[in-house]
Amino acid sequence: MKYVDEYRDADAARRYADALAGLVTRPWTIMEICGGQTHAIVKFGVDALLPPTITLVHGPGCPVCVTPVELIDKAVEIAARPEVIFCSYGDMLRVPGTAKDLFAVKADGGDVRIIYSPLDALALARQHPDRQVVFFAVGFETTAPAHALAVARAKTLGVANFSLLVSHVLVPPAIRTLLSAPGNRVDGFLAAGHVCTVMGMNEYEPLAKQFRVPIVVTGFEPLDLLQGITMTVRQLEEGRAEVENQYARSVRAEGNLPARALIAEVFRVVPRKWRGIGEIPESGLGLREEYASFDAEQRFGVAAYTAEESTECISGLILRGERKPLDCPAFGTRCTPEHPLGATMVSSEGACAAYYRYRR
C-alpha cells in the first residue's frame, strides 16, 4: 500500500472484520496504547466492525493526558514570571492545573507561546538573551530525540538562558504496571508504531514473555489497526505470546539507533508520576548531570512542589482501561473541551476528546 486512501479502504476493512469473525472463538480484551490509535478507532468506527467477543480498551498512550497536575502547576508558576518566555506544544495550554491552566497565564499577561519544535524555543533564547526561555518537554520516546537535540545544541552554543521543563514518560514500564495490577483484564496490546520507530521492538520481548501477552506494533490507519487486531487475536487463539510488527513500513527491530544514542546522551531513566495512575519506577526521562543546568525545575526552584488531583475526574480509570469516557457522569456536561476537568478531554490524543468529537 502506498497511499492513504488504501489504508482506509472500506471493502478491505470488511474483509478483515469477516476474517476476525471466523477466527475468534472466545472473548478477548485488547488495549491500544497510543492515543492516536484511540482517535482513529473512534473516528472510523473500527471497534464497531469487530465481533462482540473482542473488546477494545484505551490505554495511557497520551503523554499530555498523563502529565501530572503538579507539573502543570510548576509550568503555570514558571510561565507567570515576568522574565520568562514559556514555550509549549498547543495541547498543553488547556490542561487544567490545581487553580488554572497556561492559557489563563497567557490571558493574565504571561508570555506563553505555542511552538512546533524545541529548536524554535532555542532560537527564541538566542534572540532574547535578556529573557529566560523555557520549553515544556512533554512526550513519549517519540519526541525525546528532538528535545535532546535542542539541549545538546544549547550546550554547544553556550545558550545559558534556555531550559526544559521535562515530562517525558516511557511506554514499557506503563505496560508492566498495567499487567501487574490486581484485576488486570488485558489479554493483548497494540503497541504504538511511532514510539517503536524510535526505540524499536526489543524492549517489549521481556514483557510478552513474562506476562504471556501478545504485543503487536501497529500503525494508525483503520486497516493498520484491523490488521494489528487480527494478528493479536490469532496469537491469542493459538496460545502464543510474541512481539510482532504490523507497522513494518516504519519500524525496525532495533529502532532508530542515532536517535536512541542522542536520547541516551542527554537523558537518564528516572521515576515518573503519571496523572491518574501514580508513580511508576523507571518510567520517565530526566536530564543527565552534564545537562542539569538546563533543568527548569532546578533553575526556578519548583522541583519539590506537589499537588493533588481532582477527585471528580475519572481520567485515571480511563487511562488504565478500566472505564470508557461515556462511563463518566461529568462527560459532556461538567466536562467539555471548553471547560475540562481533566487532560483526557483536552489533548488531541485524549480518549475523552475523541468520544466528545465523534461519539456524542
288-327 residue pLDDT tens:
999 999 999 999 999 888 888 777 889 889 999 999 999 9
More confident residue, 338 or 118: 118
List the domain range (segments joined by +) for residue 102. Answer: 64-168+255-299
- β-pair type (278-287, 162-169): antiparallel
Q: How confident is the model at residue 2 (pLDDT cuts 50, 70, 90)?
A: low
For 150-193, write each residue's pLDDT tens digit.
Answer: 999 999 999 999 999 999 999 999 999 999 999 899 999 999 99
Judge whether 275 lies within some domain.
yes
Is 174 a domain residue?
no
Torsion of Cα atoms, 217 then 63 then 135 then 336, to 10° = 140
Where are the alpha helices (H) located in the chain, listed in sequence order? 10-23, 35-44, 46-49, 63-66, 69-79, 102-107, 118-127, 144-157, 171-180, 193-199, 205-211, 222-238, 257-266, 296-299, 315-319, 351-358
CATH number of the domain where residue 157 is located? 3.40.50.11740
Task: Record the pTM.
Answer: 0.93
Tell whether 266 is covered by a domain.
yes
**Residue 218 domain flag:** no
Interval 67-96 mean pLDDT: 95
Question: Would you state the pLDDT for residue 327?
Answer: 94
Residue 3: its pLDDT value, please? 61
Residue 222 lies in a domain: no
Number of structural domains, the chain?
1
Within a domain: residue 71? yes
Assess if residue 321 is contained within a domain: no
For residue 144, is it within any domain? yes
- Is residue 231's pLDDT more than 90? yes
